């Protein structure tokens, strides 16, 4: 566990997403959970000595299984955007570790079996403010990677947790994305309102301005390529041809090549179908 400010912590050692924790007099505000219930319990135990009050709250930055599978094991109230709550209303009660290979981190965790989801108990539509200490914590709706994606903003500490908006050394998840919204959110992050902020990626921890700029260029490039494909009415299967070139933009360990290629393959195909060949007006997930 790494301290990035007074009473603000991140943890990047579990498979899945970068976790956050904010210790406040009222209690502990946790940001996302590891996908493995066992890791969630380990993470919860490690937070017992950070000096927070007795209350506990878990914020899910979006609906991705990597950050929501372990929520029930955190044993506390869950809060998320209303569009994330909508995803859970359309999911089965129990998650089963089978189905399509999406390139998610949970797919490499053995022995997950069946896991009961923990749907958000509190949701909001635009912004929400938590007053758990003298320094308010803002939850802000910033769609792009998912319809219900949010940021956790700590103005007093000049820290922002941005989830999958920016990823370090790995390709993005695209199947539930909206690339124009993603571009808009990245521009907000790079704008004057967040100048001098420490930016915490949901996959990779603290990121630099150069990484954020590269992410914006990547998303713009992806959107341009897909728009051109749609303009010539290319079939969804044609997105396969984009994978090798896109993957070449990342310094990927050999052991992760196949995994990340599948992430792009699955994401590109589903994004293209969703936005350019919609079926039954499908929504997030």
**Dihedral angle at the C-alpha atoms of 94, 98, 248, 190, nearest 10 degrees?**
0
Average pLDDT over residues 63-73: 91
The predicted-structure confidence for 161-171, as pLDDT tens digits, reads as follows: 999 999 998 99
Between residues 248 and 130, which one has the greater pLDDT?
Answer: 130
Closest CA to 103 of 164, 148, 42, 152: 164
pLDDT of residue 280: 47
For 79-128, the pLDDT digits (tens) are 999 999 999 988 887 776 665 688 888 887 777 777 888 899 999 999 99
pLDDT band at 192 (very low <50, low <70, confident <90, very high): very high
User: How many C-beta atoms lie closer than 10 Å to residue 260's C-beta?
Assistant: 19
Number of C-beta neighbours around residue 241 at 10 A? 12
Among 39, 101, 99, 49, residue whose Cα is nearest residue 73: 39
- Arithmetic mean of pLDDT, 11-31: 93
Residue 177 in tokens: 């994305």
CATH fold label, 2-224: Metallo-beta-lactamase; Chain A (3.60.15)
Counting residues of the chain whose pLDDT is more than 70, the rounded percentage is: 95
Judged by DSSP in three states, 81 sits in: strand
**Dist CA 173 CA 199 (whole Å):** 19
Average pLDDT of the segment spanning 33-62: 89
What is residue 135's predicted lDDT score, i.e. its pLDDT? Answer: 93
Q: What is the pLDDT of residue 281?
A: 43
Domain ranges for the chain = 2-224
Span 234-278, pLDDT tens digits? 999 999 999 988 888 887 777 778 888 899 999 999 999 999 876
pLDDT of res. 164: 96
Q: How confident is the model at residue 38 (pLDDT cuts 50, 70, 90)?
A: confident
Residue 173, CA distances (Å) to 22, 129, 145, 261 in order: 26, 28, 7, 11
pLDDT of residue 221: 93
pLDDT value, residue 108: 79
**pTM score:** 0.92
């Amino acid at each position: 566990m790494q301290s990035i400010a007074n009473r603000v912590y991140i943890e990047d050692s579990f498979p899945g997403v970068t976790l956050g924790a904010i210790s406040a007099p009222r209690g502990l505000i946790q940001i996302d959970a590891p996908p493995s219930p066992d890791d969630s319990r380990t993470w919860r135990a490690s937070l017992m000595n950070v000096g927070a009050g007795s209350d506990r709250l878990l914020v899910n930055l979006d609906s991705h299984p990597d950050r929501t599978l372990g929520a029930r094991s955190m044993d506390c109230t869950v809060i998320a955007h209303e569009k994330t709550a909508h995803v859970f209303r359309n999911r089965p009660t129990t998650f089963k570790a089978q189905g399509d290979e999406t390139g998610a981190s949970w797919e490499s965790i053995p022995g997950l079996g069946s896991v009961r989801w923990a749907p958000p108990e509190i949701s909001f539509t635009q912004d929400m403010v938590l007053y758990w200490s003298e320094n308010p914590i803002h939850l802000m709706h910033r769609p792009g990677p998912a319809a219900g994606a949010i940021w956790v903003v700590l103005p007093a500490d000049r820290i922002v947790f941005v989830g999958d908006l920016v990823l370090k050394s790995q390709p993005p998840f695209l199947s539930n994305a909206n690339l124009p919204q993603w571009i808009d959110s990245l521009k907000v992050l790079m704008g004057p309102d967040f100048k001098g902020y420490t930016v915490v990626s949901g996959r990779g921890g603290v990121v630099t301005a150069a990484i954020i700029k590269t992410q914006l260029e990547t998303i713009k490039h992806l959107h341009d390529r897909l728009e051109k494909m749609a303009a010539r009415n290319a079939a969804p299967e044609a997105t396969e041809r984009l994978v090798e070139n896109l993957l070449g933009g990342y310094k990927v360990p050999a052991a992760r090549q196949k995994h990340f290629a599948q992430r792009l393959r699955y994401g590109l195909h589903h994004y293209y179908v969703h936005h350019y060949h919609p079926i039954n007006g499908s929504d997030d997930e």
